[in-house]
A and B are shown apart, each in its own frame.
Chain A
Amino acid sequence: MKELKSDIAVVKDLEISVGKIVSEEWEEPAGPTPFPGLVDLRNWDMTLLKKYKPFYLPFCDVCALCTFGKCDLTGNKRGACGLNMSAQQSRIVLLACCIGAATHIGHARHLVEHLIETFGRNHPIDVGGVNVDVEAPVTRLVCGVRPRKLGDLEVVLDYLEKQLTHLLSVTHTGQEGNNLDFESKVFHAGMVDQVGMEVADLAQISAYGFPKADPEAPLVDLGFGVVDINKPVILCIGHNVPPAVGIVDYLTDNGLQGEVEVCGLCCTAHDVTRYNPKAKIVGPISWQLRFVRSGVPDVVVVDEQCIRTDILLEAEKVKAPLIAASEKNCQGLEDRTHDDPDKIVEDLVSGKVPGVLILDPEKVGEVAARVALKIAPKRKKFKVIPEVNDVIEGAKRCRQCYQCTRACPNNLSIPEAMKAAAEGNLNKLNEIYDDCIGCIRCEHACPENLPVHSFIVKAAEKKMKSETFKVRTGRGAIQDIEIREVGGPIVLGEIPGVIAFVGCANYPKGGREIAEMAMEFAKRRYIVVTSGCAAMSAGTYKDEEGKTPYEIFPGYFDAGGLLNVGSCVSNPHIAGAAIKIASIFAKRKLRGNYEEIADYVLNRVGAVGVAWGAMSQKAASIASGFWRLGVPVVVGPHGIKYRRMLLGRADKEEDWYVYDARTGEKVYVGPTPEHLFYAAETKEEAMVMIAKLCMRPNDTTKGRAIKLTHYIDLHKRLFGTMPEDIHLFIRTLADVPITMKDEIIKILEEKGWKERPIPDPTLLPRLIRKKKEE
């Protein structure tokens, strides 16, 4: 209902859903697509897909999803259901994105339910006080509602769950048959995922008092070496923070805060430090086994997502009790939620049970703290990392069969390192540590059952223990004032780009590459944003003075800033910043106006996502949310296993025309941005591409010259030559970087370059203002 007038009140935009009411005081008129369904943004998706065509890289020749199969889809064959390979690949991408979106939306639902139970439905949404008026840019944009209270988030979640159910149903046998329609639904899954993540972070920031859009959020300890091993240690792994909050609260309430170390791995680590900066971050997901096996944690608490599913076995090896705290991850443990805590503590400390399931965050807090205090003196940090002699003796049993290397995702030269170790030289094993992602496939492959990963960890023990860094804890949203200040320079191109390092830790050459890339772009005065495991890896560097990147670069959303927004569910603050540039700086209507804002972002906001170690289905759905919004995503080489790229073709001139909104004419703008989803083979390749993908059709001449300067400079340094495609990005001679003028003009002459206009770019005919001007 748009407006209801009565004698006593005027109610605007009253929406009634099943059993719930969202009362709106938002004066902005509703846009064309509030709460969009599966096909409401299909035209926009097809516009993108026409420019950025899928290149499928099948991971398997067959489909095995129904009992008709397996069906051989090679050679353009169709399966028994009629599906061809392209549709099958896009269907699998959709499945992955549904899994990812379901994980975040399920996480958000659990979190919101718990926080409503604890803080009440009327607890206000507050992510930045007076500094953040647009508190939920993604939700406002997609759903067309402005949530003011925790209870308002339930209607949003209802919508997301409905969309997700429909999307998942699309993957059933005998539904969608066209690959591009699957791709459109992939975008839809990504978009609803982005809303789901935003809901989760809005709720936890508001209720738990996390930093609220704070550029000076506290610097917290990061690394293997920051944990005080003289204290009982509780390790929290996962993403959903209430159990970790329960631990911190119990320790605080009982005066035990200084007596027990609380540390975390993966996103729960981020979020517990947002709650209490005295907590510590061990590192990204890949550090799980090396840390547990080191014997440091006395109790391991797992909530949900990205947890090693063999964590119970590993915790048992070091005699550390495991507490599972999520119904999504019960680990086969007995549900002790309603038992007397004294009894649970006794059973865990005595070793009667290896672990318990407790679905009550407060009780998890009490049990974990009490068990840690009691068991630490008994365990004495019992570890399963072997001594040097054991490594040498074990290495002598290595058959040099190469099964470990053939199982290793990074093809690491383990046999050579074993050979050296057998001769008493552990240096090569130590070197392997830097590139090891900790998956232990090597151990499962070894016919001698050698604990290869533990050997590597032992060889690198000294280095590992000296890993002490800082990370600025997740600041949450970007302030409106920051957007006002940088919106102009970003849209005009004078700040060369916003680069977001996000995602998991499946790195081809260790996490250091993230730190190197982040620092390079921050030095070049791009705005560098981080989240999740990548935010941790970005901090793992020290300069000559011992300063880490988050200490070197400020946490402001400004040129040269390095900002950690927080955990995985904080990613929408990055998308939100792009949306707020359109809304706050450019005054575009936000409410339910997705297509126009995405068109704005694609054509004007030089933002690029980099998921260098993307591993999960969540990373897939996070990326797809960015694609629909017009933000290109670069993944590392392992990201090619997502089996589909979205690639532009710079050589096809006809693909790179936009409308000039002023005149309605079609104008060639060059391949800006060239790709929407792209896997790079190496860090060097990625860095050059990142700089290139920051160019946008709307760049002013000054902005384009700045962006070209960085692109050319990086290209020369990392590729050893001038780029050959400069002419595609130069519209007028004023675009040419002044310091490279002679060199570039010569190239332009060789290429037969001609000057062309700079339009007011849009891909949407309805935004052409020609009629108005006539």
Chain B
Amino acid sequence: MSVAEPWQTAEIPGPKKAIVMAKPEIVVAMVKRAKRPIMIVGHKAAEIDLGEEKLIDYLIRFAKRTDIPVVATAHIIGEFLKRGFKPAAYMPAVNIGSRLADPQWEGLDGKGQYDLAVFVGMQYYFEWLILSGLKHYAPYLKTLTLDNVYQPHASLSFPNLSMEKWKENLKVIMEKLEGGE
């Protein structure tokens, strides 16, 4: 499997493709560098089992550590609340997508449009298309996906990763965040 093939074989985008994040540290650097980051979490985050925890548990720790505002999509808000974490907002994925593609949108806090959107946990093809919309209509926005599959429409994406390698990457990210680097 090539490192930069879309996970779903036929989902070939075109000339502009995501930069492959060879190292997980890039995630940390991008989030830290961003002035207005936001994280969009899809419903699969509550289904994906990382072994010791679900992906959503990891993402809560990620959000707390980075202070990144979280938008829960689909019906996943309840899963966050159950865990005592209140996302900045919840709304359908197409709603947050269209808002991020609107240069006039003032953000969840009224302080302006975002410059980095971290996506994670949607169906592959669903996220693929939301990211496509943003690639084409939100030139001010960088998009990054934390999923273990290559999303060619993002600005930055991991390549297709095994579960083990992905968990390792997520662990490194958290270590770097906790280390305060």
Instruction: List residues of chain A with CB within 8 A of the CB of B79.
Output: 720
Q: In the docked arrangement, what's the CA distance between A98 and B92, Å?
A: 29
User: Given the interface contacts A508-B123, A720-B77, does A62 sit within 8 Å of B94 by beta carbon?
Assistant: no
**Structural contact, B92 and A689, CB atoms closer than 8 A:** yes
- Quick one: CB contact mask for A327-346 with B, threshold 8 Å, 1 for yes? 00000000000000000000
Q: In the docked arrangement, what's the CA distance between A668 and B1, Å?
A: 55
User: Given the interface contacts A76-B139, A637-B126, A649-B98, does A61 sit within 8 Å of B75 by beta carbon?
Assistant: no
B132 at interface (Cβ–Cβ under 8 A)? yes
User: Given the interface contacts A409-B125, A685-B92, does A720 sit within 8 Å of B74 by beta carbon?
Assistant: no
User: Given the interface contacts A60-B13, A721-B78, does A681 sit within 8 Å of B101 by beta carbon?
Assistant: no
Q: How far is the CB of B48 from chain A (nearest CB, A)?
A: 12
**Structural contact, B98 and A682, CB atoms closer than 8 A:** no
**Structural contact, A406 and B8, CB atoms closer than 8 A:** yes
**Structural contact, A643 and B78, CB atoms closer than 8 A:** no
Q: In the docked arrangement, what's the CA distance between A457 and B89, Å?
A: 43
**Structural contact, A637 and B125, CB atoms closer than 8 A:** yes
Q: How far is the CB of B9 from chain A (nearest CB, A)?
A: 5
Q: From residue 381 to 407 of chain A, which have CB atoms closer than 8 A to chain B?
A: 402-403, 406-407
Interface 9-residue window, one of A51-59, A124-132, A256-264, A301-309: A51-59
**Structural contact, A684 and B75, CB atoms closer than 8 A:** yes
**Structural contact, A60 and B92, CB atoms closer than 8 A:** no
A-B residue pair count with CB separations less than 8 angstroms: 120
Q: In the docked arrangement, what's the CA distance between A59 and B135, Å?
A: 12
A80 at interface (Cβ–Cβ under 8 A)? no
Instruction: List residues of chain B with CB within 8 A of the CB of A58.
Output: 132-133, 136
Chain A interface: which size bin? 35 or more
Instruction: List residues of chain A with CB within 8 A of the CB of B137.
Output: 55-56
**Structural contact, B98 and A647, CB atoms closer than 8 A:** yes
**Structural contact, B136 and A681, CB atoms closer than 8 A:** no
- Quick one: CB contact mask for B111-126 with A, threshold 8 Å, 1 for yes? 0000000000011111
Q: In the docked arrangement, what's the CA distance between A718 and B9, Å?
A: 33
Instruction: Name A684's contact: one of B74, B93, B129, B130 (CB within 8 Å).
Output: B74
Instruction: List residues of chain B with CB within 8 A of the CB of A515.
Output: none
Q: How far is the CB of B150 from chain A (nearest CB, A)?
A: 11
Q: How far is the CB of B69 from chain A (nearest CB, A)?
A: 15
B42 at interface (Cβ–Cβ under 8 A)? yes
Chain B interface: which size bin? 35 or more
**Structural contact, B123 and A647, CB atoms closer than 8 A:** no
User: Given the interface contacts A61-B16, A75-B139, A637-B126, does A679 sit within 8 Å of B94 by beta carbon?
Assistant: yes
Q: In the docked arrangement, what's the CA distance between A724 and B90, Å?
A: 9
Q: In the docked arrangement, what's the CA distance between A681 and B74, Å?
A: 6
- Quick one: CB contact mask for B1-24 with A, threshold 8 Å, 1 for yes? 100000111100111100000000
B169 at interface (Cβ–Cβ under 8 A)? no
- Considering only CB atoms, which chain A residue lies closest to B137 in the complex? A56
Q: In the docked arrangement, what's the CA distance between A73 and B73, Å?
A: 29
Q: In the docked arrangement, what's the CA distance between A62 and B92, Å?
A: 28
User: Given the interface contacts A55-B98, A681-B42, A719-B75, does A61 sit within 8 Å of B13 by beta carbon?
Assistant: yes
Most buried by B among A640, A688, A718: A640
A176 at interface (Cβ–Cβ under 8 A)? no
**Structural contact, B9 and A681, CB atoms closer than 8 A:** no
20 contacts between A and B (CB under 8 A): A55-B94, A55-B98, A55-B133, A55-B137, A56-B136, A59-B129, A61-B136, A62-B14, A76-B136, A409-B125, A445-B9, A641-B125, A643-B129, A678-B94, A681-B74, A681-B122, A685-B43, A719-B75, A719-B90, A721-B78
Given contacts A72-B14, A681-B42, A685-B92, 13 further A-B contacts (CB under 8 A): A55-B97, A55-B137, A56-B136, A58-B136, A61-B16, A73-B136, A74-B15, A406-B7, A445-B9, A681-B123, A689-B92, A719-B78, A724-B90
Instruction: Report which A residues bind B (CB closer than 8 A).
Output: 53, 55-62, 72-76, 85, 402-403, 406-407, 409, 411, 445, 508, 637-638, 640-641, 643, 645, 647, 649, 651, 678-682, 684-685, 688-689, 718-721, 724
